[in-house]
Amino acid sequence: MGDIESVLILFAAGVVSGIINVMAGGGSTLTLPALIFLGLDGTDANGTNRIAVLVQSIVAISSFRSEKYSSFKLSFKMGLFTLPGAILGAIAASNIKGETFEKILGVVMIGVIITLLIPRKKINELNNIERVPVLVYLSMFAIGFYGGFIQVGVGFLLMAALAYLLKESLVLVNVHKVFITFLFTIPAVIVFILNDNIIWFYGLSLAAGNGVGAWWSAKISIKKGEKIIKPVLIVSIFIMALKLLGVF
């Protein structure tokens, strides 16, 4: 397959992935297979995909900020706790077989769907949180490890943890998720670069698409709010859970 065809495939996959990742999560279930289809092995695909995730996060943050939706101080504070886990997860990525872990995660994803369907009474529509529960920081370390390890579906875990521990609206949870993903992706990218697991031509082609998708997804999620985010999130989680459990 020629370079032009590869660029088009990755750009298209990136646009769809960027939209899904910012609004819900699981976009890497499209991009990782696309990279492997183009000839990359699993480890290089995992590393190359992180360039797209990093660019996507930067663009989404900018898009949210242009709509005056940002809470960088709180997002940064929570995100710092993902960094140690992300470094350990990225180092472990090439040494641990994740088949059993994926099955467990599939069951967890079904649990996440159930929690999303349970009505929440207290929701902070504005960022007025005075005290962050300790459990939030503990969950950030664990999520950081998973994000550094495999990335796929980390957005679901972040949204579930933040939505129910902070009791914020899904729009604000989305803003936190994007910024936290940006933070823990930085050390993961560095680890993959040091291990020569990034194919830059493919990574940048994919990143261009992710950036376009992320920009518009952030704007749509703000304008439509939970009415669009929740159904997209539930459907995306359900599809990924079935995939992890080996249903298809």
Whether the predicted pLDDT of 51 surpasses 90: yes
Q: Which domain holds residue 21?
A: 3-244
- How far is residue 194's CA from residue 90's CA, in Å, rounded to a whole number? 11
Contacts for 234 with CB less than 8 Å, ≥ 6 apart: 113, 116, 117
The mean pLDDT value of the chain amounts to 82
- pLDDT tens track for 176-211: 999 999 999 999 899 889 989 899 999 999 999 999
Helix 28-37 vs helix 226-244: angle between axes, to the nearest 10 degrees?
50
Confidence label for 212 from pLDDT (cuts 50, 70 and 90): very high
Over range 54-68, report the average pLDDT. Answer: 92
For residue 168, what are the β-bridge partners? 124
Whether the predicted pLDDT of 1 surpasses 50: yes
For residue 124, what are the β-bridge partners? 168
The pLDDT of residue 103 is 64
- Amino acid residing at 12: A
- Amino acid residing at 194: L
The verdict on pTM exceeding 0.75 is yes
- Residue length of the chain: 248
| Cα dihedral sign, 198-199-201-202 | negative
The pLDDT of residue 59 is 96
The pLDDT of residue 153 is 74
- pLDDT tens track for 84-129: 999 998 887 755 555 555 566 567 667 766 766 666 554 444 455 5
Evaluate whether 12 touches 210 at the Cβ level (below 8 Å): no
126-141 exposure pattern, b = at least 16 Cβ within 10 A, e = fewer:
ebeeeeeeeebeebbe
The percent of residues above 90 in pLDDT, for the chain, comes to 32
Neighbours of 118 (CB within 10 A): 7
Q: Which of 106, 181, 165, 161 is nearest to 133 (CA)?
A: 165
- Our count of domains for the chain comes to 1
Confidence label for 157 from pLDDT (cuts 50, 70 and 90): confident
Evaluate whether 22 touches 159 at the Cβ level (below 8 Å): no
